[in-house]
Structure 1
């Protein structure tokens, strides 16, 4: 059902709460609001005057129980919310895991995150005040939530085809609610805990949590569900990276594609190659150390996310590579910071690896060894590989002489051939560094992946192709018809840096306009494939990722650029639902509120009035 899931559905009426509780004064406030909400036949929460209508509920109560999916995000493959609500306190939660070995340790950490998320639902939490002051009735004080999690498998590392499915049931008998999660892997169980946290909310007048009775069966449609974050154009702090992972966990995204380096900076600290960061970092404090990466990798793993490192080459290298000549290794990179930049690269500053210098491969080998050890275990590695500027190489005397002396020629075809030779050498160096021969490489679409080159230069058994052009680019159909596995990142829908003023020159940036959440949501890889080829190619489309290139982003704005649009991506990749975006709008707006409660500064989509008056902000 996952590929055809739809928002909404028939459910029971919102639990009838007492009129007194509905319009009782808000906690620690002298304001008395006369409003309540009713779940009407269209499965909408309608705001009404509580002095004129009986049986109204609080807003959170209505939103939690008014639809069959309970405003879960991303939409599960199958869910049923029964509408029965139980009240409890955060201290009355018991955890009962059934698991093996290290999985048990991971589950304990995931449960701590789950409990912390529930704490954050209290309005006092964001104000730094102590929540849960009561007074509470006897039923709330005595009610216990038992969270039972059973994981049958022992896998503790996320790979491309890890089973992330789970089942969740929430039932209540007397003063005990039992939430039972079963999953074949830790990662499925973690997703189940995330779903359970969304079946709980804060009851505005009772100063307690409420959980709704439910049953969920769930699994993702696409195995690869990612975000790309660039930390070279502008440095991104560890705190922001952690918040990004928190947001990914809340949306069941599973891959943080880390574009660590580029021509602008090289912030990665390497023990065997200290000059890379010495020459390439913006400052001594704007770097990533081995210890920081190890901590971030574990932070991600607990949250169901893998870090996918990228070393973009042979283009997109520059600052950080200038030290070779001083160390007797010659020029490792050419065209570094060369002017006029328009002749040598797509944006300043320029730089490409020096194909004529054998020492470049020795440095690259050392770099791969350290990167692999930092990020292991890895089943995939991103080579980047796009936007090579042939003129940069051809106008460099050392490379021009090398090409002619070896009788390679100096036309565009000759340079494509040597670019392909470089790529294969890079892959062999990575495999040697890893000690494995089954690591999948990922390449962006480029001159090497063009229809006339791809089968000669890119082995479909060794590489996955990441498509970053537009949805109507015929390269999509070409690659799929040739049997290549692909990841979608088409910039006309999934580039989150678009729609800003130009940072070079005037006007708007190159990929404008801004990609609203609706555009992100409606970008369906299967439909794109079907339009071009007549087939959805479900066996070849691994998933997709949204990209945030940071020419115009840093810690100050990354949250608002990623979220909640990243949540729109997440539902597309988790459920690939049918229907238009407006069927998901109510859930999406509510989920944005949820992210903010958890400390993620997600962009505002609508006025608060729209959240309180469902369905009335329409065109």
Structure 2
């Protein structure tokens, strides 16, 4: 037998609903035509909302109505400004477009949110939010959207916008699929992408464009690998030399306002941003700003000290490192906490040979390094938790160093093989970012188990 997913994809390919993505869990469509115009009446929990040109205000205090109103505005923007005529979805030179008959039109859009959003809705841990929704369009043009959370409403409006095309004859927008009935929910609570902003600086507009694309695909976690040995573009006001010395150029930085804007932009589109400061390896660039914290910076031949130059790791038995982390976390974490439930402390590819060059250690023996690393992670994660966040780490903290982690810690597996299975079976929360499936971004497309 063919797997159910293949059958569903095949069925959708031969149905009119071939522009919906991701494929809804349940869908039925008809063959009646309905047009839509910008004068359609939209209500949210019975109260009219303005559907055109609304942008939610910049704030860390999120309001469900404002988020939904922004989503309606974007859905209308998608329908009325994208101007997509579906030539490629039909045979060449076919007569697929309906006759223009705007009297057959969408009459109203009623949005009902049946549950109440909480602070967890806007900075959720995996599984905190019910993202399900239902969407119906009657043959006579009545649209009903129902969801327990505003996040579900966002997904429903995205699906709704994908049902409509522009008519090549002019400014007319239509669906050929009424009546429509869709019930949908994501399969996994964590559906993410990782952007490496340290090795390859991306503009704020680039990051926001990525968030837009994620919202179109109903992805919900953007992981920003924001520092590494290559550069430190993140402005930390309490440690100004980090970005002054560590950024590729003074203009290639992310200010506190930039970071807050990225968080806010994501939340308004159902995307939670997870920030990563990779440590204790992948952090050699600090040597350019603050001396006596880093060992093995730019050591050669690099393959003895790191996977990719420039090398450099924290001197994990150095009290100055702990003082530095106090200052770093006390500045950064209170600015992350209003917007995210997680903070990533890295932990991949730490090379034991770095500590051979460390005057505070002078050993690469696991028996020496493991307790020091445990102390380091305990300290870092205590700061993360004190800020109300849950820690993320890369898998080597468990699979290589056998560290004991808190039950709230998410282990990010990336090396493939049986690691995800083994980590999950040993009781860890796990996501899979298998590098074997690397394209141009890392896709974090597995459940938190």
Match of 1:440 in 2: 390
Q: 1:458 to 1:140 in 2, by over 3 A?
A: same
Match of 1:86 among 27, 34, 37: 34
Q: 1:410 to 1:386 in 2, by over 3 A?
A: closer
Q: 1:342 to 1:121 in 2, by over 3 A?
A: same
8 Å contact 1:322–1:332 — kept in the other structure?
no
Match of 1:372 in 2: 333
Match of 2:228 among 242, 255, 262: 262
Residue 10 of structure 1 deviates from its aligned partner by 7.0
Matched, 1:466 2:409: no
Give a deviation string over 1:373-414, Cα, whole Å, max 9, x none. Answer: 2222332221111100111111233432xxxxxxxx752321
SS of residue paired to 2:308: coil
Show structure 1 runs of 5+ residues with no match. 12-42, 45-65, 125-135, 326-330, 401-408, 499-514, 526-540, 544-619
TM-score scaled by length of structure 2: 0.85
Matched, 1:180 2:123: no
Q: 1:10 to 1:367 in 2, by over 3 A?
A: closer
Match of 2:398 among 444, 449, 464: 449
CA distance in 1, matches of 2:65, 2:73: 13
Residue 234 of structure 1 deviates from its aligned partner by 1.4
Match of 1:97 in 2: 44
> How do 1:50-449 residues align onto structure 2 when only pairs under 5 Å count?
66-67=15-16, 69-89=17-37, 91-98=38-45, 102-122=63-83, 139-140=101-102, 143-152=105-114, 153-155=116-118, 156-159=121-124, 160-161=126-127, 162-173=129-140, 177-205=141-169, 207-211=171-175, 212-213=177-178, 214-325=180-291, 331-377=292-338, 378-400=340-362, 411-432=365-386, 434=387, 436=388, 439-446=389-396, 448-449=397-398
Give a deviation string over 1:455-487, Cα, whole Å, max 9, x none. Answer: xx23351322111012xx233332222122210
Residue 98 of structure 1 deviates from its aligned partner by 1.2
Residue 363 of structure 1 deviates from its aligned partner by 1.6
8 Å contact 2:352–2:365 — kept in the other structure?
no
CA distance in 2, matches of 1:356, 1:480: 31
Give a deviation string over 1:231-275, Cα, whole Å, max 9, x none. Answer: 000110011001100100000000000100000111011111111
CA root-mean-square deviation: 2.7
Residue 141 of structure 1 deviates from its aligned partner by 6.2
CA distance in 2, matches of 1:305, 1:145: 31
Name whichever of 482-491 and 383-392 sits farther off.
482-491
8 Å contact 1:78–1:216 — kept in the other structure?
yes
8 Å contact 2:194–2:224 — kept in the other structure?
yes
Q: 1:238 to 1:475 in 2, by over 3 A?
A: same
Q: 1:8 to 1:424 in 2, by over 3 A?
A: closer
Give a deviation string over 1:318-373, Cα, whole Å, max 9, x none. Answer: 21343334xxxxx1112222223222111011110111321211221222222222
Q: Kindly name which structure, 1 or 2, has the bigger radius of gyration based on alpha carbons.
A: 1
TM-score scaled by length of structure 1: 0.62
Residue 206 of structure 1 deviates from its aligned partner by 5.3
Match of 2:426 in 1: 482
CA distance in 1, matches of 2:161, 2:100: 24
SS of residue paired to 2:137: strand
Q: 1:367 to 1:344 in 2, by over 3 A?
A: same
Number of residues paired by the alignment?
412
Residue 184 of structure 1 deviates from its aligned partner by 0.7
SS of residue paired to 1:81: strand
Q: 1:82 to 1:323 in 2, by over 3 A?
A: same
CA distance in 2, matches of 1:488, 1:373: 28
SS of residue paired to 1:224: coil
